[in-house]
A and B are shown apart, each in its own frame.
Chain A
Amino acid sequence: MKPSILMATVAGLTLGACGSADIEIETTTETPTAETETVVTNTDSDLHPKLQGVAAATYSLDKSHAFLTFEVGHSGGISDYRVNFSDFDADLTFDPADPEASQLSATIQASTVQTNYPGDYKQGHADSPYESWNEDLAMNPQWLNAGEFPEITFTATGINRTGDLEGTVTGDLMFLGETKPVTLDVTYNGTANAPWYGDRDLIGFNASTTIIRSEWGMGAFVPMIGDEVTVEFSGEFIQDE
């Protein structure tokens, strides 16, 4: 048992630390009820308020609330060319009392890139074997070469907590047959419970990193198309049943 004065101080400090940094958002629809989570055994009230009541459990990506994009500078950097992956999945083992012990693996279907190309691709690329710019980007050996390398994978190897809700996740990124370490900057955004998921917790994260694509062997059109690729994720994970 902690003296209640200490708990009050901790709570006050924590709130003070996060209050001004929080963006103006609606908070969760309901407060997660820790007492229904039999797996939470730690001193839950010592945790940051956004980590309280979160089940230490395995989670899977909630694919309808998850976004993964990459951006490269185009034409020497006069615009950011933005591409969405539309099919990817991830498994997360998360312990709110020990986030550094979390485990994460993600798989991206390389062929599912989605651009915004409203023009007539075939008119401008009469000799192309591809039917669309999305297909060109996905299948062309100079781009994602998804016929040969259908999956891009990331497997976390180490996590460092840098703040109450922030950290870095280092892992192996396998892309175009090359495996190299990358480090993501990750923010834990909080937890929520949705009526349609019952007691299963939802937790949300943002993550981002910048990689040098030529290090994985994709050097086409550098520097007209930037070598630096900014990768961004925001999404939710649902506690496994």
Chain B
Amino acid sequence: MRTLALSAALLAFTIPASAQVSLSGADKDTYSLEKNHAFLTWSVVHMGISNYTVNFTDFDATLDFDPDTPTASTISVTINPLAIETNYPDPEKKVGWEDKLTKGSSYFNGEEFPEITFVSTGAAQVDEFSGTLTGDLTFLGVTKPITLDVTYNGVTNTPWFGQRDVIGFNASTTIDRTEWGLTTNKSSVSSNVVIEFSGEFLQDD
């Protein structure tokens, strides 16, 4: 029954198939990360021959979005460094490996530094729906500015969130981990770290 009702709701739920991106229809408001539709990964090059990609599994963000002047928008992000997913195949070794990455003093040292944060300080528009977002990244107790390339992907409304707008973004940047003091295994793991986000933000109630 629920499935039928949901299917009917979805049929009535009009989504442009070719995703005509528009800012109109997105309210100027405060939005929070829709955590079930949000992905944040970091990737390093391993021994020069493969990309080692890790998912963060616990992070949140609050966005004050201004569709009239997108560059006036602000965001703050908090990431739990203890919550990662590495895809290590052996279940027992996986625990050990992820513990080492998250808690190890030469890695994320997450018990001493339990939050990674990003607070925006400025934005610049590049194209109609893309721009750069600069902000302060605090990691391992070091705060340094970084700049993200950001794309706004559009707005939608879903039956289960009623009138509350859902807006989606992609963002990416590359940082040099050694600038935050993470210098471990420089001989076999790249200093550059590619960070990628894609996800949705839900207008607050």
Contacts and interface: CB of A to CB of B under 8 A. Distances in A.
A77 B187 CA distance: 39
A204 B153 CA distance: 33
Contacts of B48: 25-28, 189-190, 192, 204
B200 A79 contact: yes
B35 A78 contact: no
Given A116-B57, A224-B13, A236 B46 contact: yes
Interface string B37-72: 111010001111111110101100000000000000
B89 interface: yes
B188 interface: yes
B8 interface: no
Interface stretch (A65-73, A95-103, A143-151, A172-180): A65-73
Contacts of A202: 47, 49
Contact of B153 (A23, A77, A117, A236): A77
Interface residues of B, number: 53
B24 interface: no
A157 interface: no
Contacts of B168: 74-75, 77-79
Contacts of A27: 48
A4 to B, nearest CB: 28
Contact of B52 (A67, A71, A77, A79): A67
Given A24-B192, A236-B50, A79 B87 contact: no
Contacts of A204: 46-50
Given A25-B192, A86-B87, A116-B38, A189 B200 contact: no
Nearest to A22: B48
Contacts of A127: 1-3
Interface stretch (B15-23, B120-128, B130-138): B15-23
B188 A118 contact: no
A20 interface: no
B49 A189 contact: yes
Interface in A185-240: 189-192, 194, 202-206, 221, 223-224, 234-236
A217 B81 CA distance: 39
Interface in A70-118: 71, 73-82, 84, 86-87, 114, 116-118
A75 B15 contact: yes
B78 to A, nearest CB: 13
A161 to B, nearest CB: 18
B100 interface: no
B170 A80 contact: yes
Contacts of A28: 47-49
A118 B192 CA distance: 28
Contact of A84 (B13, B46, B55, B156): B55
A75 to B, nearest CB: 5
Nearest to A227: B17
B158 A75 contact: yes
B125 to A, nearest CB: 19
A223 B15 contact: yes
B49 A67 contact: no
A23 B192 contact: yes
Contact of A74 (B17, B37, B190): B37
Contact of B167 (A65, A78, A84, A86): A78
17 contacts: A24-B190, A27-B48, A67-B87, A75-B156, A78-B19, A78-B155, A81-B37, A81-B39, A119-B36, A127-B1, A189-B48, A189-B50, A202-B47, A206-B51, A223-B17, A234-B52, A236-B49
Interface of B: 1-3, 10, 13, 15-17, 19, 35-39, 41, 45-53, 55, 57-58, 85, 87-90, 93, 153-156, 158, 166-170, 186-192, 198-200
The 6 closest A-B pairs by CB, nearest first: A204-B49, A78-B168, A76-B15, A77-B19, A234-B51, A204-B50
